[in-house]
Amino acid sequence: MMQEKVAPAPYASGTAPTLLALRGVGKVFSNGVTALSDVDLTIREGDFLSLLGPSGCGKSTALRLIAGLSTPTSGVLDWRGGGALDRSNIGFVFQEPTLLPWANVFDNVWLPLRLKGISRAKATPVVTEMLARVHLTGFEDAVPRELSGGMKMRVSIARAMVTKPRVLLMDEPFAALDEITRFKLNNDLLELWQDERFTVVFVTHSVFESVFLSNRVVLMAARPGRVFDELAIEASYPRDEAFRTSPDYAALCRQASDVLVKAINSTAGTHHDGH
Amino acid sequence: MTAIDERVLELDPEEARRVRQERFERIGRWVLPLAIMILAIWLWDRICVWNQIPQYILPRPGVVLWTLYNDAGLLFSSLLVTLRITFLSLALAVIGGVGLAVLFAQSKWVEMSFFPFAIVLQVTPIVAIFPLINIYVNDQTTKLLLCAWIVAFFPILSNTTLGLNSVDRNLRDMFKLNGATRWQQLRYLRLPAAMPYFLGGLKIAGGLSLIGAVVAEFVAGTTGQSSGLASRIIEAGYRLNAPRLFAALFLISLTGILIFLVLSLISHLILRRWHESALKQER
């Protein structure tokens, strides 16, 4: 786990090698709706990149394209840095915890390894360690319905990370949680990211969340879904509760908000509250 | 935190009233139906006495019970014959129903092509099919089994098919992302997800397999080869032995109730930890 990495630090992304480049990527659904149009985006090793935008801007579609759950109708996804990634190198966290309701916490986290043919005995140290990382030690035998929303999401994150993926894709993972729980999970996620140095693509519609977490915030606009602007969040890590109340953070949030408003107003047509 | 809340609430008069009412309901759930049942049997007995109804028309409940005891040897050996057909056909219905459902789940095309056959089998009255079975099948047990199976397998097939197709889309994506094979998806995702549906179908099929077994015996019984409970009923009917007829009927009902209770228990034990239907309501 402590092997040497080429990237000097996970958040010095300006110098880090490119992991994935989206070039002219578009997605048109079979019903004729253009979900994404001409997206150019470079994701570097160790990035914590947020896709921020109003609903309908195609941020979830972009994530599904990166995950390979969907294919683009135009453009290419160019995986670099060690050849094409196979799916075992991608972890995905859905908006809902998406756990197997009949399986306990241990079995849920074991599942990705089990699907790769790794036995319970062999997986146990890895799963146990992963559960400790997300502060769920002692809950191995609980089934999902016995857990709170935040704990379920921790299980979901542990399951996504148990295969040690290079990229973690997260689709509004904390949107359904209360603020206190969300803050706690934000902190824990950042801690995990700094320790393990994986790359995160984080979809959110919360300005505050994206600024707190990321080193890059990519703002998207709707109709058609496209990249509108990008902000570098240059505050240093580790970021903790002190950062949350700092004037720097407030200023960055304001900056991001302003761009988001511009992105929303740029949408052709006047209504932007749904379809 | 919640423990403290609950203790405070228990002192609350409204909560105390709720607890009291719950206790009443718990007792009432057993006492009430039992009382009504006893009342009905008493009324039955009285009607026989008041109207001086002869035993061969409507026997008194006590006589039925006495017959059950007296003819126990005959009746229970017949019950065993019926039970054997019932459980064998239920087992075959589970194997056939789940097997076909899994086959259907492999492809929409297979399902669309073959599901109509299952429906045809289901909607055609078994009594009407039996003469054909009688021509094509020689062995008596096989005949009865086939009949009971046709009646019982459909709810299992239809429910399990529905369950296999009702998997959460995100979970399916999650399996895909982890490179799960078709078999793994079936084993770890679709079959467990279909379990509540299957168990619902099993509960229906349990009763139907008993009905199927009895009906099949009835139809076959006219040829005088069967020895199950249905043939006891036919025989008793011919001889105007109403007490034995009632005793046999009672045994069939009791068996049906027991099958239902056992299957409900199995269902509860399997689902109690995770499925909404088996959870206690706590509010």
Helix axes B72-106 and B242-271, enclosed angle (nearest 10): 40
Tell me, yes or no, if B280 comes closer than 8 A to chain A by beta carbon: no
A47-106 pLDDT, tens digit per residue, is 999 999 888 888 899 999 999 888 899 888 888 755 555 656 889 999 999 999 999 999
B 192-231 → A contacts, CB under 8 A: 192, 195
Using an 8 Å CB-CB cutoff, list chain A residues near B273. 102, 143
Look at residue A8 in the predicted model and tell me its pLDDT: 41
Helices and strands (H and E) in chain B: how many: 12, 0
Nearest CA in chain B to A65: B177
Q: How far does Cα B30 stand from its chain's mean position?
A: 21
The stretch A255-267 carries a mean pLDDT of 86
This prediction has a pTM of 0.84
Structure-model confidence comparison of residues A96 and A268, the more confident one: A96
Cβ contact B274–A102 (<8 Å): yes
Sheet holding A18-28, edge to edge: A34-44, A18-28, A74-79
Look at residue B281 in the predicted model and tell me its pLDDT: 54
Look at residue A4 in the predicted model and tell me its pLDDT: 40
Report the distance separating Cα B104 and Cα B115, nearest Å: 8
The ipTM estimated for the assembled molecules is 0.86
Cβ contact A115–B179 (<8 Å): yes
Q: Which among A86, A90, A102 has CB closest to B192?
A: A102
Using an 8 Å CB-CB cutoff, list chain A residues near B192. 100, 102-103
A215-240 pLDDT, tens digit per residue, is 999 999 888 888 888 888 888 888 88
Q: Give me B242's structure tokens.
A: 């109403």
Contact A199, A167 (CB under 8 A): yes
Helix, strand, or coil (residue B282) = coil
Å between A255 CA and nearest CA of chain B: 34
Q: What is the DSSP letter of B281?
A: P
Tell me, yes or no, if A120 comes closer than 8 A to chain B by beta carbon: no
Tell me, yes or no, if B275 comes closer than 8 A to chain A by beta carbon: yes
Of how many residues is chain B composed? Answer: 283
Cβ contact B177–A102 (<8 Å): no
In angstroms and rounded to an integer, the radius of gyration of the C-alpha atoms of chain A is 19
* The pLDDT of residue B159 is above 90: yes
Nearest CA in chain B to A64: B173
Looking at the DSSP assignment, which residues form a beta bridge with residue A201?
A49, A169
Q: Which among B170, B184, B274 has CB closest to A98?
A: B170
Contact A65, A28 (CB under 8 A): no
Report the distance separating Cα A182 and Cα A82, nearest Å: 34
Tell me, yes or no, if B184 comes closer than 8 A to chain A by beta carbon: yes
Euclidean distance between the first and the last CA atom of chain B, given in angstroms as a whole number: 16
B218 — alpha (psi -120 to 50), left (phi > 0) or beta?
alpha
* The pLDDT of residue A269 is above 60: no
Helix, strand, or coil (residue B28) = helix
Using an 8 Å CB-CB cutoff, list chain A residues near B174. 92, 94, 98
- How are beta strands A34-44 and A90-93 bridged, if at all? unpaired
pLDDT band at A199 (very low <50, low <70, confident <90, very high): very high
B207-241 pLDDT, tens digit per residue, is 999 999 999 888 876 555 558 888 888 888 888 89
Cβ contact A94–B275 (<8 Å): no
B12-42 pLDDT, tens digit per residue, is 788 788 888 888 888 888 899 999 999 999 9
Using an 8 Å CB-CB cutoff, list chain B residues near A103. 192
- How are beta strands A216-221 and A226-232 bridged, if at all? antiparallel
Look at residue A107 in the predicted model and tell me its pLDDT: 95
Cβ contact B173–A68 (<8 Å): no
